[in-house]
A and B are shown apart, each in its own frame.
Chain A
Amino acid sequence: MSLETILMTVFSSTLIYAAPLIFTALGGTFSERSGIVNVGLEGMMIVGAFSSTVFTLSFSNALGTATPWLSILVGGFFGFLFSILHAVATVNFRADHIISGTVLNLLAPGLCVFLTRIIYNGKGQTPIIEQGLGTYTFPGLSKIPVLGKILFTRTSLVAYFAILIAIVSWYFLYRTNVGLRLRSVGENPVAADTLGINVYKYRYLGVLISGFLGGMGGAVMAQSITMNFSSNTISGQGFMALAAMIFGKWHPIGAMGAALFFGLAQSLPITGAYIPLLSHVNSVWFQVAPYVITIIVLVIFLGKAVAPAADGTNYIKNK
């Protein structure tokens, strides 16, 4: 294989695996910037993966090639609905954020597998999706010498979309007044409240956007990688996204960069065989690599990274 082809393979599979993580890590960023810790990303991804798969299986005949794309929005919508639980528990009922998030993570697989059995005649997993997101070759851009082949040929369009969303998220959080207010309630809700900012409203906004993006992340996972839904469709990607968010210092662009790095780690089991130096390594190491890297990154960066000052605290309004 030529170097160009190897790079193209590595790059496109990195993007494919990174896309779900980018969406979800951005979701985590919104939630935690507003002050609500979100370990429930895994659960939100599961709900997104399940709902998008059901949607695709049910409507692909009627809607054709647009189905997987629409199903991502469906996944986002159900992730959004699911995240209301987290918002109500943490914002209104002042529950511990970690516990509430854990509840989501326990609830989601149970609920979705149960529904799968009901819908698909007792089977624990859905049938395979016939038409996934597939790969995409950019017209024009792919003609650029060398780079065109590596970056824009047979690659993941949804990953480029995710990168676009990361840039939009940055603009939203750091350039608009809504973003400034959302960040302010994550830093010092008491101060924000004295300035007439509705702390509950902006924290809801953070959690719900997080649910939508987390659901999208799960949907992308199901529509481009696993191609069906079962109990292990989402196996730790929510936590990897959380790690990416921390690694990226709670910043949308940072989280995106970290998610790309984790995407590379996750794609190694597939691409490792093609990379000359790595081709002799036992593939078991590639299988465990993403998880080991997640743990190492967390251990190294969790202590040093500066989270939003009021992240994980509940706000009680004085009367």
Chain B
Amino acid sequence: MSTSVVEMRHITKKFGNFKANDDISLTLHKGEILALLGENGAGKSTLMGMLSGLLKPTEGQILVEGKEVEMESPRDAKKLGIGMVHQHFMLIPAFTVLENIILGEEPLKGGRIDYKKASQEIERLAEKYQLDIDLKAKVADITVGMQQRVEIMKALYRKANIFIFDEPTAALTPQEIDQLMKIFRALADEGKSIIFITHKLKEIKEAADRCIVIRAGRVIDDVMVADVAEEKMAEMMVGRKIRTTVDKAEVDQSKAVLEVKGLNVEKHGLQAVKNLDLTVHTGEIVGVAGVDGNGQSELIDALTGMRKIKSGSVKINGKEYANHPVREITEAGVGYIPEDRQVVGLVLPMTISENLALKNYYRKPFNNHGILEYADINQNGKDLIEKFDIRSQSEKEAVGSLSGGNQQKVIVAREIASKPDLLIAANPTRGVDVGAIEYIHEKINDERNDGRAVLLVSFELDEILKLSDRVVVMHAGEIVGEIDPKNTSAEELGLMMAGKKIADAE
């Protein structure tokens, strides 16, 4: 454990006048798993960008295997045995797994690629590190978990000794996360060193030997994971105490707001939602858990009027709204926090105020006989920015220039400010940091406590278990079970999401 493979000394990185990294020092030992913990924007990715050759430090030195190095490009980092596994995989969906792995380092035989030799080499590595991959499959057709193993194999194939993982578990199911943690161990046991960036404390506890906490570009602490409690690490990361529960008030849950019966939705001619029944009452948060791609998106699209319903009934406050126009559904009292804020939720080049008025721009007071009343629109923007703690320079700033967490707050503000009877939230905290997650969770819970109905779809099990009054599990377009979040662990839920019925899970 004592030999250091990477040493970063007094690294400072400036973008203009902004210090993304301020005098950071870090050491990585051989065979060690090091976690880099910090909120979004804390400077973790910048630091790793410098270690992987994407960025150049403004000040400071980087030593690899004891020698000072200067890296001009990722290629230089690769030569030094540094392999980066990006959060958004750097794969080519149209190519096979094998082609993706060898791209750029193809073995040749008489001018053509020697696929046979490459396969043998990769299969040998796969066996050694227990990486289950299908070389002949197209990347477009394999699971996210396997895509990640392909990324790991890409680095192994290039003889990497140092692995950097940027938020490796963001898109994985709990089972895939377990598998990844095993792979981490196998790599470390073979003498490889690993740095992984995360803001999830559980994984650090499970996998890492040591943890470096970064906040606002500085190293806050460097701790051995075994010695520190999760709560303590969360506090170091955010700089204050974090609440892991929400207060649920006693509310009347007798009246049904959303009633879905026998819903069938198709996507590309395939049945995406099958005969689905679902009811959400006043003062209730119903969580829909499930692995991505099991019909959740189609369900939400159908409920919000974005996708045609093939058959079935959708009642809101007792009135039928299946296949009604989006505006009628909105006016019936439905608020919607969409999954992809940048594509569906916001118009990025428009100002915060304009985005906040997107749902009401055609009505008084924002609209006076076809003329927009900017005074009212901007005043509304100012009010909501203050009320929802949206960190921005002014209400006239373009939404696209805000951080992800603040963009999400803009949507939450718009949808909650309209006081909907039913709030549909799809992955409301995806890619948002811990502070903003806490805030958004509280806002959603406030809606419930005010007696509104909330339908929450999320891939984050902790989020589902923390917020929901009831949880239904979706698999292959069907609801395969309902559980009580108080008596269910994330592991049990994970098994159900993989398609096991409740009886099997127990």
Contacts and interface: CB of A to CB of B under 8 A. Distances in A.
Interface stretch (A15-23, A103-111, A172-180): A172-180
Given A175-B112, A309-B94, A181 B86 contact: no
Interface in B141-180: 154
A192 to B, nearest CB: 7
A142 interface: no
B370 interface: no
A99 B54 CA distance: 32
A283 interface: no
A176 B112 contact: yes
Given A176-B113, A180-B103, A181-B103, A196 B75 contact: yes
A61 interface: no
B269 interface: no
A195 B111 CA distance: 21
B92 A191 contact: yes
B54 A188 contact: no
A58 to B, nearest CB: 38
A197 B154 CA distance: 14
Nearest to B112: A175
Nearest to A310: B92
B74 A196 contact: yes
Nearest to A193: B74
B92 A196 contact: no
A177 B112 CA distance: 7
Interface in B108-156: 108, 111-113, 154
Given A177-B108, A177-B113, A318-B54, A195 B103 contact: yes
Contacts of A180: 99, 103, 106, 113
Interface in A169-227: 171, 175-177, 180-181, 183-184, 187-188, 190-197
Interface string B82-111: 001010001111110001000111101001
A184 B95 contact: yes
Which residue, A171, A196, A306, A308, has most C-beta atoms of chain B within 10 A? A196
Contacts of B91: 188, 191
Nearest to B111: A176
Interface in A132-171: 171
A177 B113 CA distance: 6
Contacts of B93: 187-188, 309
B378 to A, nearest CB: 34
Interface in B8-33: none
A195 to B, nearest CB: 4
Given A194-B84, A196-B74, A196-B75, A181 B104 contact: yes
A285 B84 CA distance: 60
Taking chain B's interface residues, is the majority helix, strand, or loop, or is none over half, making it mixed? loop
A195 B157 CA distance: 12
Nearest to B52: A194
B113 A187 contact: no
A175 B103 CA distance: 12
Contact of B90 (A175, A176, A190, A308): A190
A39 B105 CA distance: 33
B196 to A, nearest CB: 18
Contacts of B54: 318
A189 B75 CA distance: 15
Nearest to B115: A175
A220 to B, nearest CB: 28
Contacts of B274: none
Nearest to B84: A194
Contacts of A190: 90
A171 B113 CA distance: 11
Given A180-B103, A196-B74, A196-B78, 10 more contacts: A176-B111, A181-B104, A184-B103, A187-B94, A187-B95, A192-B92, A192-B103, A193-B74, A194-B84, A195-B104
Interface of A: 171, 175-177, 180-181, 183-184, 187-188, 190-197, 306, 308-309, 318
19 contacts: A176-B113, A177-B108, A181-B103, A183-B95, A184-B95, A187-B94, A187-B95, A188-B90, A188-B91, A188-B93, A191-B90, A192-B104, A195-B103, A195-B104, A196-B74, A196-B75, A197-B103, A309-B92, A318-B54
